[in-house]
Amino acid sequence: MTDKWGIIPRICALLAVLLLHGCYKPVNQPVIIYQPRPLPSALLTSYRIIGKSVQQRPIISTILGQGHDVIFIMATIHGNEPAGTTLLLRLAKYLQQNPQWLKTRTVVLLPIANPDGMAAGSRYNVRGVDLNRNFATANRLENQRSGITPLSEPEARIIEQLIRQYAPDRIVSIHQPLACIDYDGPARELASRLSEYCDLPVKKLGARPGSLGSYAGLTLHIPIITLELPPGAHRLDGQSLWDKYGPTLIAAVAYPESIN
């Protein structure tokens, strides 16, 4: 047994003195350089892995804000239409820097809905299914290209799950290359508002069998926009693409408020 003034109590006493004077920092303990202040709720952003593709690529959603008005915007359900992904990454950054749009809103972003198709430069998922024909709708076709059953594909199930979880007030799905603003469900006014902010005309393409437009717009009666960018949109650099179509996406978030 060590007596009262043995070596260990002496070392402890010395450390206590050094700590009090800030001269000693314990090894392996993180040094906190900056303590972030708590963020206002409008600035809350979370990144969530919500599932995996057929080839086990993570599918990630970004959630900004926590208001009652919910907007769901997704891109690249067709893997060879990647311009929307660039736009959504920019939109996330823009909203973080301009949180006034998030005060009463929740913005749910799905920048890459079909990561396997994107990696392969293919419209389809890796099983050759067109994910935008895989939803449970009255007009769905039963064939290999549409998937053998509704929601047979994990990527389509993730989109459906996000819609059920967040119950969005409006949806925008970004595609290429038809250069127009198409809509399904009660979205005519939203479509004309968006067309004020870009060079794309409103054009009704008709509900495609088993498409997200048919599912959200006709089955669930959620206003949904299919934003068809022009064919060369993905060849524009990020800034030019954002300058051209960023305001359209901000208008979709702000609707029915005007962004001017």
Residues that bind Zn ion (CB under 5 A): 78, 81, 175
Question: Whose Cβ is closer to Zn ion: residue 78's or residue 90's?
Answer: 78
**What's the 3-state SS for 192-234?**
HHHHCCCCCCECCCCCCCCCHHHHHHHHCCCCEEEEECCCCHH
Q: Minimum CB separation from Zn ion for residue 210, in Å?
A: 13
Nearer residue to Zn ion within complex by CB, 78 or 105: 78
Could you tell me if 224 and 205 are in contact, meaning their C-beta atoms sit under 8 angstroms apart?
Answer: no
Strand segments, DSSP code E, in the chain are 45-52, 58-64, 69-75, 105-110, 170-175, 180-184, 224-228
- E runs forming strands in 19-100: 45-52, 58-64, 69-75
Q: Taking the complex as a whole, how short is the minimal distance between the CB of residue 114 and Zn ion, in angstroms?
A: 10
> Which residue, judged by CB position, is nearest to Zn ion in the bound state?
175
The rounded Cα 231 to chain-centroid distance in angstroms is 22
Q: Residue 160 gets which letter from DSSP? A: H
Residues 179, 199: Cα–Cα separation, whole Å: 9
* 3 state SS of 46: strand
Nearer to Zn ion, 69 or 81 (CB): 81
CB of 76 to Zn ion, least distance (A): 9
Least Å from the CB of residue 173 to Zn ion: 8
Give the single-character DSSP code of 135.
S
| Cβ proximity to Zn ion, 108 vs 212, nearer residue | 212
Contacts (Cβ under 8 Å, ≥6 apart) of 27: none
Residue closer to Zn ion by CB (options 168, 213) is 213
State the nearest-atom distance from the C-beta of 130 to Zn ion, in Å: 9
Residue 40 or 206: which CB sits closer to Zn ion? 206
CB of 78 to Zn ion, least distance (A): 4
